[in-house]
A = this chain, B = another copy of it.
Amino acid sequence: MREVVVAGVGMCKFGRYPDKEYQDLGCEAVLHALAHADIKWKQIQAIFCANAYAGMGVGHNIAALIGNKGIPIVNVENACSGGGSALRLCYQSIAAGLYDVCLAIGVEKIPGGLLDDTSWLEYERDMGFNVQPANYALDVQRHMLEYGSTLEQVAMVTVKNRKNGVLNPYAGFQKEVTLEEVLTSRMISTPLRMLMCCANGDGAAAAVLCSADRLSSKAKKVTVAASVLTSEAYGNIRGGGSVKIHNPDRTERAAAQAYEAAGYGPEDMDVVEVYDTMASGEIINGEKLGLCKKGDYGPLLEQGTFDLGGNLPVNPSGGLMSRRHPLSATGLAQIAEIVWQLRGEAGSRQVDGAKIGMAHCLGTPGNASITILKR
């Protein structure tokens, strides 16, 4: 398997774009990524485009606007792990020598009205599990019981990430919030309050990947050290298998696979983007990723370990909490942040001397996607 690099990344500012089509957002991200990579559109040999809501032919319609040359285009639907899955298909194809230059796109325009999350089985939807906060509420209640984490710590994740987001021009929210504002915001699913839940939104992000020998001399080298995708393991449901919560965790398995593939452990990370669709997710997932021992994330958070300027900055981009969460675009936005950090291009939120970084994303049907990058 040969060395694969992320040659360039691009995204649009996430937000609400009632007057734009997803193609517009997608084109903006792609053109940014091509310029960042110093790679021409005509050099792209295959496209993997992640989307959940827009229907058929998403990657084709974006390519059509730029000018489709007839290359293979595969649209990927892997919910919130879609962006990471698209990047992984690029990575694998290039590593295996099938292509030299590939494009990963993640794009989403969130439809109006209540989102019907079809990724949950019928019996789970009947129980209300298709609403994200309900799931996370159960998880965090359990975590508080087992490890003594507090609601203040959960709120501190939001405060930290929203503070970082002020420094990110692509973040949908660039405004700090106080601990009190978070703890007194509207209750969504006990104990999670509104400012502990990320907002969805429209957006696109893209990455150009190539074999190391194709990297332009004008682009800084960021190598893919690992790209892993797992799904949740559980038994035959109709046969009376166990439910998800008791089973080997997808993030823990993905992390183990990623660290083994990369030859790095959590202790080697300089900067990490952790999936914080709910503020509690950063705590629980951060521990599953091995960034600290189980139960230690909250106390370390209080000490500033995960702040910009701390020992291990987590979500320097502001995370989903600041960026908003256009499902399939999120994974590639996280990867874009890590690439900018490793290239020293993250401006006022730069993590000094960052050499190794990781992006972690979950998808509701039971995916976990982890990408480890190094410069």
Contacts and interface: CB of A to CB of B under 8 A. Distances in A.
Contact of A60 (B69, B89, B122, B365): B365
B253 A119 contact: no
Copies of this polypeptide in the complex? 2
Given A65-B237, A67-B241, A56 B77 contact: yes
A231 to B, nearest CB: 5
Interface stretch (A91-99, A156-164, A316-324, A331-339): A91-99
A65 B319 CA distance: 34
A234 interface: yes
Contact of A55 (B64, B76, B118): B118
Contacts of A54: 118
A89 B74 contact: yes
A77 B93 CA distance: 18
Given A68-B366, A76-B76, A238-B65, A56 B119 contact: yes
A121 interface: yes
Contacts of A60: 119, 231-232, 365-367
B56 A364 contact: yes
Interface string A103-143: 00000000000001111111000000000000000000000
Contacts of A96: 92-93, 96-98
A57 B237 contact: no
A52 B56 contact: yes
A231 B118 CA distance: 29
B253 A70 contact: yes
Contacts of A303: none
Interface string A219-236: 000000000011111111
A169 interface: no
A64 to B, nearest CB: 6
B74 A75 contact: no
A347 interface: no
Contacts of A23: 121
A227 to B, nearest CB: 10
A338 B241 CA distance: 37
Contacts of A250: 70
Contacts of A120: 57
A19 B114 CA distance: 25
Nearest to A231: B73
25 contacts: A52-B55, A52-B56, A55-B116, A56-B119, A56-B363, A57-B119, A57-B365, A58-B77, A60-B232, A60-B367, A65-B237, A67-B234, A67-B235, A68-B232, A70-B231, A70-B248, A70-B250, A74-B85, A74-B229, A75-B78, A76-B77, A89-B89, A92-B93, A92-B98, A96-B97
Given A57-B364, A75-B76, 6 more contacts: A54-B118, A56-B118, A60-B367, A67-B236, A67-B239, A72-B230
Interface of A: 21, 23, 51-52, 54-58, 60-61, 63-79, 85, 89, 92-93, 96-98, 116-122, 229-239, 241, 248, 250, 253, 363-367
